[in-house]
Amino acid sequence: MPPAPLSILVIDENHIRASIIEAGLREAGHDRVTVVHDVAGIAARVAAINPDVIVIDLENPNRDMLENMFQLSRAVRRPIAMFVDRSDQSAIEAAIDAGVSAYVVDGLRQERVKPILDMAVSRFNAFSRLTRELEEARSELEGRKVIDRAKGILMAQRGLTEEAAYALLRKTAMNQNRRIADVAQSLVTAADLLGPGDGQ
């Protein structure tokens, strides 16, 4: 089954340049293209259109304009390709910090639009995967810490061995159809509320 066609939003105040980008995208087989020429209230427009990918073209961006676009890219969590005519090192670094997937200086030519868009999407996907894996690892580590604290509380309060404390947590989790880490968190929270926490 072929992938669903991408919905692409082009943000460009310059009509001629916008038409170059749109032509490049349509030539590459993308027909779900929306062009917005007015950047005022752009965040609301992005939310309404809900595109898969955003292409931003800034002819001669000033600092405020760039910062607005960087804020947008931080907020929307979508692949973003940004074309600018000129740039300095600090703007390039700011673009990377803001999560812009492809920041292209002096590169707006029709035939370059598709490969840059493809690169933006693949970079974004790779970055998202890494972020998700990091978040999962962090969450797992936090879960382990909470489980260790909960075991310590059970061992101190009920005189259980570590294995028995873990078995009790696991049994409770199964009975309540919850994750062990969630049961452990409830126990730790209750112990913190009820007085000086054992097993800290």
pLDDT at 114 over 60: yes
| Cβ atoms of residues 127 and 101 within 8 Å | yes
- Looking at residue 107, its pLDDT comes to 63
Average pLDDT, the chain: 81
Edge-to-edge strands, sheet with 32-36? 32-36, 7-12, 53-58, 80-84, 102-105
CATH number of the structural domain 135-194: 1.10.10.10
pLDDT at 23 over 50: yes
Q: Which CATH class is domain 7-108?
A: alpha beta
> CATH 3.40.50.2300 spans which residues of the chain?
7-108
Q: How far apart are CA 128 and CA 174, in angstroms?
A: 32
- Looking at residue 4, its pLDDT comes to 67
Query: What are 38-92's pLDDT values in tens digits?
Result: 777 777 888 888 888 888 887 776 677 777 777 777 777 788 888 887 777 877 7
Cα separation values, 21 from 33, 37, 94, 110, 114, Å = 10, 13, 24, 6, 9
Residues 6+ apart with CB under 8 A from 127: 99, 101
> CATH 1.10.10.10 spans which residues of the chain?
135-194
